[in-house]
Structure formats: C-alpha cells, structure tokens
Amino acid sequence: MRSRYSAFVVRDVDYLLRTWAGETRPSELVLDPEIRWRRLDIVSTSRGGPLDDAGVVAFRAYFVNQALPGARREVQEETSRFSRVDGQWLYVDAL
C-alpha cells in the first residue's frame, strides 16, 4: 500500500500498473497533474501477513487539487483488497 501511494506521489504509472492485479488492471492509467498527494494514514489492516495470500488495507490519503480555487486539502478514503501472486502484493480493487 505504501509503495503504491509513493508511486502516486511521484506519478510512476508503470509501477502502479505493474502492481495492479491483471483481472482488474485498466489498459491505461492517466493521473491528474493537478493533484498533489500530501499524506497517507493507514486506518486498519486485515490479514496480509507473511503467510497470507490476501489482505485488506483501509486508508486515508490526503491531497490538494491545485486546479480548484483555494486549493484546499481533501481526502480520499478507501478500503483496498490486495492479493499476493508469486511473492508480490498486487492491488485488486476497492471494497
């Protein structure tokens, strides 16, 4: 989760697509250039340990949309599902 957040911060689309499960991965990903990610808070986790093949992460990601007047801080809240494939964690989808 943290590595994917960091990829959003630096706009690493290749990494985001590479770490997205094939069954839900979009064919392309276009990131909004006006979004500036500021902070990630992990709210909770379920499973996702060394012996698990699936996990769930609830998070809040804070950002500023510079295209909006005043560019105030906003938050994206999501609960995400991940699966481990060949030792690598992949984002599946949001619950």
Largest Cα separation within the chain, whole Å, is 47
Question: pLDDT at position 91, please?
Answer: 98
Question: pLDDT at position 68, please?
Answer: 82
Number of structural domains (the chain) is 1
**Dihedral angle computed from the Cα positions of residues 38, 14, 3 and 80, in that order, rounded to the nearest 10 degrees:** 90
Token pair listed for 95: 């619950």
Question: pLDDT at position 70, please?
Answer: 80
Q: What is the DSSP string of 63-80?
A: EEETTSTT--EEEEEEEE
**Average pLDDT across the chain, whole number:** 96
- Give the β-pairing of 73-85 and 35-47: unpaired
The secondary element (H helix, E strand) that includes residue 2 is: helix 2-10
Q: What is the pLDDT of residues 37-82, one digit of tens each?
A: 999 999 999 999 999 999 999 999 999 998 888 878 899 999 999 9
**CATH code, 22:** 3.10.450.50
Q: What percent of the chain has pLDDT over 90?
A: 91
Structural domain for 50, as ranges: 2-94
